[in-house]
Chain A
Amino acid sequence: MSGIRKSKAAVLWGLNQQWKIEEIEIHPPKTGEVIVHWRAAGLCHSDEHLVTGDMVPPEEFWPLMGIESFFPIIGGHEGAGVVVEVGPGVTSVVVGDHVSASFVPSCGRCRYCSTGRQNLCDNGAKTFVGGMITDDTHRHFVNGQPVTLMAKVGTFSEYACVSEQSIIKVEKDIPLECVALVSCGVATGWGSAANRAGTQPGDTVAVVGIGGIGMNAVQGARMAGAKRIIAIDPIEFKREKAMEFGATHTFPSMADAMMSVMEMTYGQMADRVIMTPGVLHGEMMTEAMNLAGKGSTVVITAISPMTSETANINLFNLAMWNKEIKGTIFGSLNPRADIPALLDMYRAGQLKLDELITKTYKLEDINEGYEAMRDGTNLRGVIVNA
């Protein structure tokens, strides 16, 4: 079939508004594009960052970015579904294939894709704005008006037209809810600990903030052989869950953790500190750096407000103790290699995915799901479309 397709989608019309369920129109896929029926979408904190504005460029920048408005935008960047239509020239998938979304596209040809850093693919530059990666034109319309897709996948829609670069074929024996979680939160958290932080067997690792990312940083640290995993979160439910995912100690705050980490490591402190709070504010860095020992690595995974320009870091200590601070996107993994690899670890029973899903929601109930996230009662809520 090829023609205009109608779909329900959760659309954000402006800052600090609720997600609104709209009927959208999707135009047929052009060269290199496919239509995916999203069957599962994770309620990730990054979509909430669109609502709060932490991840929205200030209005005065919009003309520089070549857009009239950041809104409306269809949310959702963590998802999995089934290919229902392919445009001309598509070679990596056929109709009926199960696919994972990839919130960073991977063109396979740019400098970064060509050197094992697909998480930094140059096509990621247009993550939040404009039309298709392929030709900049739009395929999605609401009330006749073009609408952008979050991370160029817009998984808070029943259907979406996406570039082949943004989807990764997966095996059909894995539940699509699990695939959805791996496509962003799991890979990001796991890779932050197991890959970017360089966790080694015997290390002491502190994970600050135990949500959908931090919980997977705990799993990654466990799989990388950490001796101690200190999970820090103010919410008791999350601390309890962290122990189930492999943490060895928990504390409600960095301040509470400080003396105990000092004691248990004989003063050497953590070898790796992974920052995965809901929102990272610059002043939190003082305590984060103090948790980190000589020669340690501090990984910044969390989103900080986009326009925030300051962080409290003692650069004397950074230099004298040979510490390093590393940013990471997607856990510094390669979507095309690592999404299937993580799913195979799930298949082998080494990676917990089912246990991450606290509750599933219908698309219509998305605001209820985010309410639960804000209340801290969900590790991960997942939207499931029939």
Chain B
Amino acid sequence: MKSKAAILWETNKPWSVEEIELDDPKAGEVLVEMKASGMCHSDEHLMTGDLPFALPIIGGHEGAGIVRKVGEGVSWLAPGDHVVFGFIPSCGRCPSCSTGHQNLCDLGALMGGGRQITDGGSRHHARGQELGLMCLLGTFAHHTVVNEASCIKVDDDLPFDKVCLLGCGVVTGWGSAVYAAEVKPGDTVAVVGVGGIGANAIQGARLAGAKRIIAIDPIEFKREKAMEFGATHTAASMTDALALLQEVTWGTMANKVILTMGVGSGALMAEAMALASKRGRVVVTNIHPAMEMGVTMNLLDVTLMEKQVVGSLFGSGNPRADIPKLAGLYREGQLDLDGLVTRTYSLEGVNDGYEAMRAGENIRGVLVYE
């Protein structure tokens, strides 16, 4: 069949929205009609080359849609089912999946290649070439064929343009606070960078009972939004936050520091570590340049103050448990997804959406496919 998708042919060039050829799903695969896709910073990282995946590639990894066709052997999905994609597949059988760490599923190793899990081939073609899929998904498209390991079934009453965000940014931010940072009632939490991830780290910290949430972002609009999501204080920089934390915590500093900047920088770690209390936990959620090898960090301070640095992928959550769980919290009014979506665009507007992201005008832009 023919469909339409946004393709990246080379780095530092705009997304090209064009017609694609789509093969039928093979065994273990499903054809999904996409309904909405979030525009996450990680796709921007494809464009800048910070994420060195094989090109050409169909972008997008935060998506929701309706199953239209299932391949042989797919027993738990049927045409008509609503699905959100987990940006990391979860096979349910590898050691990580078997111990409550689906975010580290061994199938994740195949993500860089962008080819089908089942046979290493491609179902997507354009200009006579095979196309890779961002995170094995390619949600910047009207249709896609993905492995069942990437699909999470969700209830039919949930709006696509909101629940698509559960596939990546919301769980990543929320879980960074709840699971990776282990925010406890009464904690003081600093969130560095208030974009699509940071806003949800704030929501997670709030729901986990943080007493103070200090949201740090240079852009005033984001600081204002942060207060709506549950921040108690804001600061324009980590330097400003340092002074603020010293004052409000009587010098004991933040129990948890969550790094959710657009791009991390090793040079900024010393400042982040300085925000953390004794036994403070610093969570690195944001993407750093792949080849960066140096960070500023006083390791004596790490030892003597027992500070901890923790990496987090998908908020250390389990896609199959946490996507439905957060959908439930949205339904109960305890998780704000509506407020995350600043603007919606058609597929053709994808470059406008990223322009707005770069200008700091969007918490999240969402592509909506009619």
Q: Give the B-binding residues of A (Cβ under 8 A).
A: 194, 200-202, 220, 223-225, 227-228, 341-342, 344-345, 348, 350
Contacts and interface: CB of A to CB of B under 8 A. Distances in A.
Contacts of A223: 185-186, 209
A319 B78 CA distance: 36
A201 B204 contact: yes
A227 B332 CA distance: 8
Given A201-B207, A344-B211, A345-B211, A225 B178 contact: yes
Given A194-B209, A202-B325, A220 B185 contact: yes
A350 B207 CA distance: 12
Contacts of A342: 186
B334 A227 contact: yes
A225 B209 contact: yes
B328 A227 contact: yes
17 contacts: A194-B185, A201-B329, A202-B207, A202-B328, A202-B329, A220-B185, A223-B186, A223-B209, A224-B184, A224-B185, A227-B328, A341-B186, A345-B186, A345-B211, A348-B211, A348-B212, A350-B211
A201 B178 CA distance: 7
B297 interface: no
Contacts of B332: 227-228
B329 A224 contact: no
A63 to B, nearest CB: 45
Contacts of A344: 186, 211
Contacts of A201: 178, 204, 207-208, 329
Interface string B202-217: 0010011101100000
A160 B226 CA distance: 49
Contacts of B204: 201
Interface centre among B209, B232, B329 (most CB of A within 10 A): B209
A345 B186 CA distance: 6
Interface in B177-226: 178, 184-186, 204, 207-209, 211-212
Nearest to A248: B332
Contacts of B207: 201-202, 225
A341 B184 CA distance: 12
A227 B329 contact: yes
B247 to A, nearest CB: 14
B214 to A, nearest CB: 13
Given A224-B209, A225-B334, A345-B211, 9 more contacts: A201-B207, A202-B329, A224-B185, A224-B208, A225-B207, A227-B329, A344-B186, A345-B186, A348-B212
Nearest to A191: B185
A133 to B, nearest CB: 29
Contacts of A227: 328-329, 332, 334
A282 B209 CA distance: 33
Interface string B92-132: 00000000000000000000000000000000000000000
Contacts of A200: 178
Contacts of B208: 201, 224-225
Interface centre among B178, B185, B325 (most CB of A within 10 A): B185
Nearest to B325: A202
A201 B208 CA distance: 6
A315 B208 CA distance: 32
Contacts of A202: 207, 325-326, 328-329
Nearest to A347: B211
A341 B212 CA distance: 13
A216 to B, nearest CB: 12
Nearest to B331: A227
Nearest to A342: B186
Closest 4 CB pairs of A and B: A223-B209, A225-B207, A223-B185, A201-B207
Nearest to B185: A223
B102 to A, nearest CB: 16
A230 to B, nearest CB: 14
B329 A345 contact: no
Contacts of B326: 202
A330 to B, nearest CB: 16
Interface in B321-351: 325-326, 328-329, 332, 334
Contacts of B211: 344-345, 348, 350
A342 B209 CA distance: 12
A224 B210 CA distance: 9
Nearest to B203: A201
B286 to A, nearest CB: 22
B284 to A, nearest CB: 21
A219 B185 CA distance: 11
A194 B185 CA distance: 7
Contacts of A345: 185-186, 211
Interface centre among B186, B204, B325, B326 (most CB of A within 10 A): B186
Nearest to B250: A344
Interface centre among A194, A220, A227, A228 (most CB of B within 10 A): A227
B256 to A, nearest CB: 14
A106 B366 CA distance: 55
B11 to A, nearest CB: 39
A68 B208 CA distance: 50
B98 to A, nearest CB: 16
A220 B209 CA distance: 9
A186 B212 CA distance: 21
A352 to B, nearest CB: 14
A322 B254 CA distance: 36
A341 B250 CA distance: 13
Interface string B306-334: 00000000000000000001101100101
Interface string B279-316: 00000000000000000000000000000000000000
A194 B186 CA distance: 10
A154 to B, nearest CB: 30
Contacts of B186: 223, 341-342, 344-345
A194 B208 CA distance: 10
